[in-house]
């Protein structure tokens, strides 16, 4: 495990950046509460964040700090009014998202990668193709030195301390050299020393010419002293924005006297929490007057020959942030530095590397397929070619499918939520497209989708005395693969749309109707007429029927009988007893493929929904 020892870096050695001034005017945000009423979380917030200065956003819980940060990062756009300007020019949202980075409070990282590998994959995804590998390597070394991660560069991310993970999350975004960097409570969960180190690195980033803004929660006096500017929020209103050294005097002018030797951050939080008597309204109005001046000055400087009448200005103020500049002014270049094919290749390599590195889960999955295959082979030994044991063999085939489904669905229910969190963070920071991630995930998991059922059948098929015919082996293997595919998609869908606790409960529950209507427990002819249509929606019907067709269909010869009388030694009688027509294997495969297609679409829509919900 690495240490939290920081390496002092001169600001001049940090990656150079063009100075940028970020300003925003009349940012308002509202949501619809559970009772249907509109709730305003932000009320006309205006301000300016300057490059070269570290700015902190301070306020009690529910003041609107994270909401403001999400809006200014360009990611949250729904129900937002106001406008954002960079160097006095309204933002083009596509270009703006390439120039900013946003690091949430709880950063999800891929624990099976090393620190260097994490930065290398970030460089492959975030840097244009014209940047050569030697140049990437130089940038990665610089980032490691800047953030004090050189000593743990080859350590797995899972073994890093909390402070090191925070700094690595900063480094992942620093790779693309953003002009504006947002952080949501970067010191949360860290001890005082680690928190000071993280803020010191943020201070260095600001000193290099970047605009660095972060939400801070109850900072100590020593941490607060590192900030240059503060923005204090209270109930969605701005109480103060400006230099840290002017905070006490501004509050004093409005009737709020700060005691001697008192933490200024605690004093500001108490005022924002309405725990001190004073003229709060005057404080809000004073903040509005101070904040409106620099924004208007920047507008005049940006458009000296252009004047706006009141109606035009009002129209601009209520313009939605996500519209940015008009489409005709949008830049012609693409949204991502690398092509979707390059993103797909890089994400596939990363996913497969993480999967192979997670040997504990991989070995357990393979061992489970091998162990259960042997167990089923022992219990159902030599039942496949005996006319007196056909129902036992049908049960054997049914257990084949049950195990294949749960062995491939449940691991993804447990692991995919973490991957989804990583995807949302990276997608929010414009690393890659949804399509590139989606197809890379499907391709990277496909080898394990095939490997598990293959290992399982290799042990169980022969020992249970199933017919040793290549076409029948291939048909049963394909049914198991398709069932495993459905299981994998079901697990990923639950993992992306539901919390882990709910997904673990919902996946088994969702399988129950599929089993009830598959035709194994209750024959189709014995069901009520109004229930029979539901059997066509049960994918286990097509799995079970396809496996029975693979073993007993296509004019299989009569089975030898070891008992006194074997009525079902004629396989046609057996299929008839299960209400199955002969040689419907192709239809069963088509039914499974339809389900696979539906689940693929559902997974894609689930990821789209997660992104929209985050916004």
570-582 residue pLDDT tens = 777 888 888 888 7
| Region 361-379 average pLDDT | 86
Q: Look at residue 461 and tell me if it is in a domain.
A: yes
Specify the higher pLDDT residue, 2 or 231.
Answer: 231
Specify the higher pLDDT residue, 331 or 513.
Answer: 513
For residue 402, pLDDT beyond 60: yes
Q: State the burial class of residue 536 (Cβ atoms within 10 Å of its Cβ: 0-12, 13-18, 19+).
A: exposed
DSSP 501-568: HHHHHHHHHHHHHHHHTSSSSS-GGGS-TTTGGGGGG-HHHHHHHHHHHHHHTTTPPPPP--SS--GG
Q: Look at residue 168 and tell me if it is in a domain.
A: no
Of the candidates 266, 290, 314, which is a domain's last residue? 290
Residues 443 and 557 in one domain: yes
Of the candidates 249, 269, 290, which is a domain's last residue? 290
Residues 265 and 349 in one domain: no
For residue 242, pLDDT beyond 70: yes
Specify the higher pLDDT residue, 10 or 16.
Answer: 16
Q: State the pLDDT at residue 311.
A: 37
| Region 423-428 average pLDDT | 84
For residue 477, pLDDT beyond 90: yes
Residues 252 and 352 in one domain: no
DSSP 376-417: HHHHTTT-TT-GGGHHHHHHHHHHHHHHHHHHHHHHHHHHHH
- The pLDDT confidence band at residue 15, using thresholds 50, 70 and 90, is low
- The pLDDT confidence band at residue 301, using thresholds 50, 70 and 90, is very low
Residues 391 and 527 in one domain: yes
For residue 351, pLDDT beyond 70: yes
Q: Look at residue 400 and tell me if it is in a domain.
A: yes
63-97 residue pLDDT tens = 888 888 888 887 777 788 888 888 888 887 777 87
Q: State the pLDDT at residue 484.
A: 94
Of 46-55, 131-140, 320-329, minimum mean pLDDT range: 320-329
| Region 442-471 average pLDDT | 89
Of 150-159, 188-197, 232-241, 503-512, minimum mean pLDDT range: 188-197
Q: State the pLDDT at residue 546.
A: 93
Give the whole-angstrom CA distance, residue 402 versus residue 407: 9
Q: State the pLDDT at residue 250.
A: 85
Give the whole-angstrom CA distance, residue 228 versus residue 537: 62
**What does the buried/exposed string (b/e) look like for 447-460 if buried means 16 or more CB atoms within 10 Å of the residue's CB?**
ebbeebbebbbebb
281: domain CATH number? 3.40.50.300
Q: State the pLDDT at residue 117.
A: 92
Residues 476 and 553 in one domain: yes
Q: Look at residue 126 and tell me if it is in a domain.
A: no
Q: Look at residue 106 and tell me if it is in a domain.
A: no
Residues 404 and 265 in one domain: no
Mean pLDDT of the chain, nearest integer: 81
Domain tally, the chain: 2
Residues 421 and 545 in one domain: yes
Out of 6-15, 199-208, 360-369, 537-546, give the one with best mean pLDDT. Answer: 537-546
371-391 residue pLDDT tens = 998 999 899 998 888 777 888
Q: Look at residue 583 and tell me if it is in a domain.
A: yes
Give the whole-angstrom CA distance, residue 397 versus residue 378: 14
Residues 360 and 439 in one domain: yes
Q: State the pLDDT at residue 314.
A: 33
Percent of the chain having pLDDT more than 70? 87
Residues 354 and 284 in one domain: no
Q: Look at residue 3 and tell me if it is in a domain.
A: no
Residues 257 and 353 in one domain: no
Percent of the chain having pLDDT more than 90? 20
- The pLDDT confidence band at residue 346, using thresholds 50, 70 and 90, is very high
Of the candidates 269, 290, 311, which is a domain's last residue? 290
For residue 8, pLDDT beyond 60: no
Domain coverage including residue 540: 340-614
Specify the higher pLDDT residue, 557 or 595.
Answer: 595
Residues 284 and 358 in one domain: no
For residue 593, pLDDT beyond 90: yes
Residues 548 and 490 in one domain: yes
Of 248-252, 274-278, 389-393, minimum mean pLDDT range: 274-278
Q: Look at residue 166 and tell me if it is in a domain.
A: no
Specify the higher pLDDT residue, 127 or 615.
Answer: 127
DSSP H/E element including 242: strand 237-243
| Region 414-422 average pLDDT | 83
Q: State the pLDDT at residue 348.
A: 92
Q: State the pLDDT at residue 290.
A: 66
């Amino acid at each position: 495990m690495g240490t939290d020892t920081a390496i002092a870096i001169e600001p001049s050695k940090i990656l150079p950046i063009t100075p940028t001034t970020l300003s925003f005017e009349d940012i308002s945000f509202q949501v619809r509460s559970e009772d249907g009423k509109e709730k305003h979380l932000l009320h006309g917030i205006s301000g300016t964040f300057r490059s070269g200065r570290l700015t902190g956003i301070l306020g009690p819980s529910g003041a609107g700090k994270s909401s403001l940060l999400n809006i200014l990062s360009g990611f949250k756009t729904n129900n937002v009014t106001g406008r954002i300007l960079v160097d006095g020019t309204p933002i083009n949202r596509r270009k703006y998202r390439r120039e900013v980075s946003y690091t949430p409070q709880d950063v999800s990282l891929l624990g099976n990668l090393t620190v260097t590998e994490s930065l290398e994959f970030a460089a492959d995804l975030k840097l244009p193709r014209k940047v050569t590998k030697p140049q990437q390597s130089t940038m990665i070394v610089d980032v490691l030195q800047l953030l004090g991660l050189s000593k743990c560069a080859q350590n797995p991310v899972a073994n890093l301390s909390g402070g090191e993970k925070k700094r690595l999350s900063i480094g992942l975004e620093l790779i693309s050299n953003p002009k504006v960097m947002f952080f949501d409570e970067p010191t949360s969960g860290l001890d005082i020393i680690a928190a000071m180190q993280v803020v010191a690195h943020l201070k260095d980033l600001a000193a290099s010419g970047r605009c660095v803004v972060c939400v801070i929660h109850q900072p100590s006096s020593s941490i607060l002293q590192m900030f240059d500017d503060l923005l204090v929020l209270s109930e969605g209103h701005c109480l103060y924005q400006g230099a840290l050294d002017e905070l006490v005097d501004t509050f004093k002018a409005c009737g709020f006297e700060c005691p001697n030797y008192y933490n200024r951050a605690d004093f500001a939080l108490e005022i924002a929490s309405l725990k001190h008597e004073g003229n709060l309204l005057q404080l809000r109005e004073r903040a509005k007057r101070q904040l409106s001046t620099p924004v208007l000055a920047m507008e005049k400087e940006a458009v000296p020959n252009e004047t706006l009448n009141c109606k035009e200005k009002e129209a601009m103020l209520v313009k939605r942030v996500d519209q940015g500049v008009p489409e005709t002014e949008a830049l012609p270049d693409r949204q991502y530095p690398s092509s979707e094919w390059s993103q797909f290749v890089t994400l596939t390599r990363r996913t497969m590397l993480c999967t192979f590195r997670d040997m504990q889960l991989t070995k357990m999955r393979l061992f489970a397929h091998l162990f259960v295959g042997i167990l089923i082979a022992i219990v159902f030994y030599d039942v496949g070619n005996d006319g007196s044991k056909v129902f036992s063999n049908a049960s054997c085939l049914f257990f084949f499918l049950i195990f294949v489904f749960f062995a491939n669905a449940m691991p993804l229910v447990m692991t995919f939520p973490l991957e989804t969190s990583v995807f949302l963070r990276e997608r929010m920071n414009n690393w890659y497209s949804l399509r590139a991630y989606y197809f890379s995930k499907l391709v990277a998991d496909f080898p394990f989708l095939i490997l598990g059922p293959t290992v399982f059948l290799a042990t169980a098929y022969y020992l249970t005395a199933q017919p040793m015919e290549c076409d029948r082996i291939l048909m049963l293997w394909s049914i198991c693969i398709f069932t495993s595919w459905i299981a994998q998609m079901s697990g990923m869908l639950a993992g992306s749309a539901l919390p882990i606790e709910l997904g673990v409960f919902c996946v088994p529950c969702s399988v129950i109707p599929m089993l009830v209507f598959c035709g194994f427990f209750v024959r189709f002819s014995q069901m009520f007429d109004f229930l029979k249509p539901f059997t066509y929606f049960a994918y286990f019907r097509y799995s079970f029927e396809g496996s029975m067709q693979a073993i007993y269909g296509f004019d299989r010869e009569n089975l030898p009988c070891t008992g006194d009388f074997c009525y079902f030694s004629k396989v046609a009688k057996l299929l008839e007893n299960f209400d199955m027509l002969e040689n419907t294997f192709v239809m069963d495969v088509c039914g499974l493929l339809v389900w696979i297609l539906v689940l693929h679409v559902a997974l894609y829509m689930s990821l789209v929904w997660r992104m929209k919900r985050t916004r």
